[in-house]
Structure 1
């Protein structure tokens, strides 16, 4: 089947230019006007060859546009497999996410995100690979593939981060051998040697307890009522890649993620976006107007504000992920309130048992 399609495709590609060339040669050889030397003959000859040249240019342009559309479809398909659409709800958390690539021709970027519901809680990853476009796509694939397995397998969030670190190191070694087969190692000035990724891991338990590990990534914003605050002010770890992880990786407690609150995770391309005057995009100010909104509304409004601020000319990949806690029930109460409620219930039960109400026996 392939042997039949390839000659047919080659004939379709080469047929129109060949036909246009045959028309021009035939006119040159047999047309009576071409044998004359007057002004009218020269104008007619110029018109014929102009038409032939225009036809060839249009054919080449149409062929290139067709191939470009095919490349973009393949890129979008690859991107949708890697950054697959998130489910609208994961274990009681409403989600919304989107990604803007700075490489508009390829429609792919170096940002990554994922939300997975596990027996250890809802685990979230947000990352930003150095660079953008097709060069960063392999690193994104390696990290996301590792996270989707480790999130279920590892009970400790620190061990999830170590799995991601090993996956990235293995990917860079394989890429180095592929790009430098003779030496087996990347030169010091090679892009592979300078590869790194900023990464944020979150773990959200059913009771709202929130843990985090941050490797050089911007801290998310917490939307609680009318206030917008950073999730933490702690110094992050170095990005993955150039530096080894420390021996101990205790997750950082970040308080409770209460019902009605939202978290907005983003890559630095959002806050680094500039307008034509060089002013940075004020993400926090934009979010302050959206407290209490649905994740989809937050995402849509922020993206519209970003594109309006930059006039659609983003210079870096941008990824946004919004989580909203819409859980209900006693299991979703804060730890302190839940413990106090349990203690109060136990005390009332003891009081009822110790001092029963008198009864009248008739």
Structure 2
């Protein structure tokens, strides 16, 4: 629909220039500006639409020349040729732009898939389900990070949200993921993991950049150790409903926070949900924020983790009408020794 609106805008611009030219008569000649319609189209829409706008501009010029009695003169012939060349150039630009965008989209999708490799349904003794959707639909590129690794000290989980989006955010996200994997296997305590990740990430961030994150460690008996670095609190989902974990957040990674651990014990069958801004701050067309606590409390206790996340995604899309301005990431974990 956006492409159609832009195509119509180009047609209206062309019609407006022709109308003004006809109204001014011989005092001012604006027919040369008819090329602006195809030029505007080639920047935003595909070559077929650009060709339509260009053909419309040429027909308008011929019709205007007929009405003004200048059709067939040398000056008019030169202007038609010039306009035709401009239309051809606009169509070529639209074709090259579309080809470049397809190439960039393929590269971005490949990079994103390498960065967010789908997690297996089981990591060690932890059942895992994940969902990810990028706000930049055309590039499938964002700054959210999800990961889970089974180390000698327990199964460790990361969810992080890099400030911003695009290539810069993806680079920071890749660095965060790399440093987490290195620290998760090597460091004995979760605080040591967080400190190592924070120190390494800080060296790669700009002056105004930061990364909110939650790093958690699951034990086989259901105990979960959590370090919250400026992120949204995780939620516990069970057959008796849901609750948000009251975890006092420290400063995000990159801002040199004083990190501390919180411990939560999951009852048999309970799951823990981690998520990013895209879910917590999802808004409808009027700006009303999703009541996440209510949605979690009324969420059915599906036997399969993927079913829970699918249901939650549907509820979010129902509230927002399918619109989303931020990356959405979720990871649901359930100990299963």
The correspondence for 1:304, drawn from 306, 309, 314, is: 314
Deviation by residue 1:274-305 (Cα, 9 ceiling, x = unmatched): 11121111223333223234221222222233
Identify the match of residue 273 of structure 1 among 267, 270, 282: 282
Q: How far 1:69 moved relative to its partner?
A: 1.0
- Give the gaps of 5 or more residues in structure 1: 1-36, 173-191, 333-362
Cα distance in 2 for residues equivalent to 1:84 and 1:151: 17
SS of alignment partner, residue 160 of structure 1: helix
Q: Which residue of 2 is the match for residue 98 of structure 1?
A: 131
Match of 2:246 in 1: 233
Give the counterpart of 2:295 among 283, 286, 289: 286
Following the alignment from structure 1 to structure 2, what is the Cα–Cα distance between the partners of residues 58 and 311? 35
The C-alpha deviation readout for 1:170-202, integer Å capped at 9, x for no partner, is: 213xxxxxxxxxxxxxxxxxxx21211111111
Q: Is the 8 A contact 2:299 2:312 kept in 1?
A: no
Q: In structure 2, list runs of 5 or more residues that go unmatched.
A: 1-68
Is the 1:194–1:242 contact (alpha carbons within 8 Å) kept by the matching residues of 2? no
Where does residue 141 of structure 1 map in the other structure?
A: 174
Match of 2:270 among 261, 278, 293: 261
- 1:1-362 superposed matches below 5 A: 39=71, 53-172=86-205, 192-230=206-244, 232-245=245-258, 249=260, 251-255=261-265, 257-287=266-296, 288-325=298-335, 327=336, 332=337
Separation in structure 2 between the aligned mates of residue 301 and residue 45 of structure 1, nearest angstrom: 63
2:24: which partner in 1?
A: none
Please identify, of 214-223 and 304-313, the stretch whose mean Cα deviation from structure 2 is larger.
Answer: 304-313
Task: Return 220-229 or 235-244, whichever deviates more.
Answer: 235-244
Provide the rounded CA distance (Å) in 2 between the counterparts of 1:266 and 1:300.
14
- The CA RMSD measured in Å over matched residues stands at 2.4
- Higher Rg of the two aligned structures: 1
Quote the Cα distance in structure 1 between the aligned partners of 2:246 and 2:70.
85
TM-score (norm 2): 0.72
C-alpha separation in 1, matches of 2:207 and 2:196: 20
Per-residue CA distance 1:236-269 (angstroms, 9 max, x = gap): 21222223435xx4x32111x3442222110122
Secondary structure of 2:158's aligned partner: strand
**What displacement does 1:44 show?**
8.3
**Count of residue pairs the alignment pairs up:** 267
CA contact (8 A) 1:260 1:292 kept: no
Residue 348 of structure 1 aligns with which residue?
Answer: none
Q: How many Å separate the matches in 1 of 2:112 and 2:203?
A: 22
Distance in structure 2 (CA, Å) of the matches to 1:241 and 1:131: 14
- SS across alignment from 1:171: coil
